[in-house]
Amino acid sequence: MWAKVYSGFGYWDVYIWLLFFGITSALVLWVRSLGRDDYKEGTEQDEIFYGSNEVPEDGDDMGVPAASAYWGFVKALKPYYDSLIEIHSGIASDYVGYFVLTVAVLAVLVLL
């Protein structure tokens, strides 16, 4: 029950990992405790730095929308994504087509 998981190529021990996590967390908390203790909640120390601009009232005006996440990744792979989105047409007859095509290709490979 408590033993390691052997994969045939190495092993995994969750308890060593948890021990390591615990020691690391203790170290982090210890380092944090060495920091400045003059922080006061509710003062100007609390204020958000928003690129020297005024902080908007509503969170809606300052969040990064999901559509903007990983834009560089998507832009770099634009040809790949263009073809992928084209395949995902949402048309039911296309779904049937891919199914029949897969059956046909695999039938040729298996029967030959």
Partner 1 sequence: MNWQIHLPALVLAIPLLGAFASPIAGLGGRTVRNGWMAFISITTTAVCLLLLQKVLVDGTAVYVMGAENWNFTLPSGLSWPIRIILQVDAFSAFMAAVGSIAALAGAFFSLSYMDKFTGLEKFSALYFLLVTGMLGMQLTGDLFNFFVFLEIASVASFGLIAFWRDRPEAVEASFKYMIISTLSAMFILIAIGFLYGRYNAVNIAAVARMLHMGYAEKIALVFLVVSLTMKSGAVPMHMWTPDAYAEAPAGVTCLLVGVSQASLYGLFRVCFSLYGSSLGSPVIPWTIIVMGVLSMFIGVTMAVIQKEIKRLMAYHSVSQIGYILLALGVGLLALRDPQAMADYGFTAMKGGIFHIINYTMYKGLLFLTAGALYYSAGSRNLNELGGLARVMPYTTLMFVIAAAAIAGIPPFNGFVSKLLIYQSTFAVYPLLAVVALVTSVLTLASFVKVFQTAFLGPAKSKFAKVTEVPGSMLIGMSILTVVIIVLTLFPTWTLAHLVEPAAKALVDQAGYISAVMGGGL
What CA–CA distance (Å, rounded) separates 82 from 86? 6
Q: Please report, as residue ranges, which positions from 82 to 111 form the binding site for partner 1 (by CB under 8 A).
A: 84, 87-88, 90, 92, 94-96, 98-99, 101-103, 106-107, 109-111
In the complex, least distance from residue 43 CB atom to partner 1, rounded to whole angstroms:
20
What CA–CA distance (Å, rounded) separates 65 from 106? 43
Q: How far is Cα of residue 29 from the mean position of the Cα atoms in its chain?
A: 26
Q: How many helices, marked H, and strands, marked E, lie in the chain?
A: 4, 2
In the complex, least distance from residue 62 CB atom to partner 1, rounded to whole angstroms:
6
In the complex, least distance from residue 75 CB atom to partner 1, rounded to whole angstroms:
11
Q: How many CB atoms lie within 10 A of CB 48?
A: 7
Instruction: Give the interface with partner 1 as residue ranges (CB under 8 A).
Output: 1-5, 7-10, 12, 14, 17-18, 21, 57-60, 62-67, 69-70, 73-74, 77, 80-81, 84, 87-88, 90, 92, 94-96, 98-99, 101-103, 106-107, 109-111
